[in-house]
């Protein structure tokens, strides 16, 4: 039994030694592989860092190129605006040139229509002469205009005087017509204060007519028309107009107050 145990122990020791040796070799190989892998990783990291640096460098260059591109784009826009402005200015100049050419053509046509004795080189002098003659003519016209205005003022004054004379003649004629009125008091009613006049509408008497009663050159009183019947007029005596000490009587003359002077 002891021998068996010894043999088993020996076998175990041999197995342990074998496995330890084998594991040691495996461990050394693994450590060697890990070292190699670390070297590879470091190389890869270095390469990656180099690539990252290159990428950053390229990114910076790209940003600079992008900035330069934006600047160039703005310059191109500015140049396009300048070109558009130049085109616009060119069009304006062309339009002005066309207008000037048209005016020149019109002027040439007008010059061809001028009389033969008028030449472009003497035109300014001739135009100045015409302006001087025109100014002198205008001065003469102004003088004539003032003379005409003075004559018109005289004519207005003459017409005004004529109208005044005509009015006075008309007034005098009315006065004559009034004085030629052959109207008399034919009846008097002192109690009721009215009279009867032998004149009617045919002689210019109306309901609104104011009548005067005169005796010779003296006014006796006034009458207010009451009614008109044919060639007879009934009128009220206006008491407050009677001349002191006088009374209206048959035979007194009747005239129109509004024509009395």
Which residue bears the tokens 């229509």?
113
The last residue of one of the domains, among 113, 133, 160, is: 113
Question: Would you state the pLDDT for residue 260?
Answer: 47
Q: Mark residue 219 as left, alpha or beta (left: phi above 0; alpha: psi -120 to 50; beta: remaining).
A: beta
**In a shared domain, residues 128 and 98:** no
**In a shared domain, residues 126 and 41:** no
Say whether 229 sits in a helix, a strand or coil: strand
**In a shared domain, residues 19 and 91:** yes
The residues, any chain, with a CB within 8 Å of residue 212's CB and separated by 6 or more, are 219, 221, 222, 223, 254, 255, 256, 257, 260
**In a shared domain, residues 108 and 34:** yes
**In a shared domain, residues 171 and 83:** no
**C-alpha distances in Å from residue 231, one per residue of 186, 227, 248:** 12, 11, 20
Stretches where the chain sits below pLDDT 70 are 1, 3-4, 6, 15, 18-25, 27, 30, 111-124, 126-127, 137, 166, 168-181, 258-261
**In a shared domain, residues 137 and 107:** no
The last residue of one of the domains, among 180, 207, 222, is: 180
Q: What percent of the chain has pLDDT over 70?
A: 78
User: If residue 241 lies in a helix (H) or strand (E), which one and from where to where?
Assistant: none
pLDDT digits (tens, 9 = 90+) for 207-230: 888 899 999 889 999 999 999 999
pLDDT digits (tens, 9 = 90+) for 34-44: 787 777 878 77
Question: How many domains are there within the chain?
Answer: 3
Mean pLDDT of the chain: 79
**In a shared domain, residues 4 and 107:** yes
For residue 134, the enclosing domain spans: 117-180
Question: Would you state the pLDDT for residue 146?
Answer: 84
**CATH (domain of 242):** 2.40.10.340
**In a shared domain, residues 32 and 61:** yes
């Amino acid at each position: 039994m002891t021998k068996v145990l010894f043999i088993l122990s020996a076998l175990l020791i041999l197995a342990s030694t074998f496995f330890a040796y084998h594991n040691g070799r495996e461990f050394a190989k693994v450590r060697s592989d890990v070292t190699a892998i670390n070297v590879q990783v470091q190389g890869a990291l270095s390469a990656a860092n180099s690539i990252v640096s290159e990428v950053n460098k390229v990114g910076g260059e790209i940003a600079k190129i992008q900035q330069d591109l934006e600047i160039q784009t703005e310059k191109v826009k500015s140049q396009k605006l300048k070109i558009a402005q130049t085109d616009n200015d060119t069009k304006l100049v062309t339009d002005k040139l066309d207008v000037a050419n048209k005016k020149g053509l019109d002027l040439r046509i007008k010059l061809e229509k001028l009389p033969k004795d008028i030449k472009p080189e003497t035109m300014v002098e001739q135009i100045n002469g015409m302006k001087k003659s025109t100014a002198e003519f205008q001065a003469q016209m102004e003088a004539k205009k003032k003379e005409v205005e003075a004559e018109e003022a005289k004519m207005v004054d003459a017409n005004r005087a004529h109208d005044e004379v005509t009015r006075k003649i008309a007034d005098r004629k009315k006065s004559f017509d009034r004085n030629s009125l052959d109207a008399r008091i034919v009846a008097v009613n002192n109690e009721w204060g009215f009279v009867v006049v032998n004149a009617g509408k045919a002689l210019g008497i109306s309901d609104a007519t104011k009548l005067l009663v005169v005796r010779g050159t003296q006014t006796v009183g006034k009458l207010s028309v009451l009614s008109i019947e044919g060639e007879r007029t009934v009128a009220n005596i206006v008491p407050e107009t009677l001349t002191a000490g006088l009374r209206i009587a048959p035979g007194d003359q009747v005239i129109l107050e509004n024509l009395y002077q």
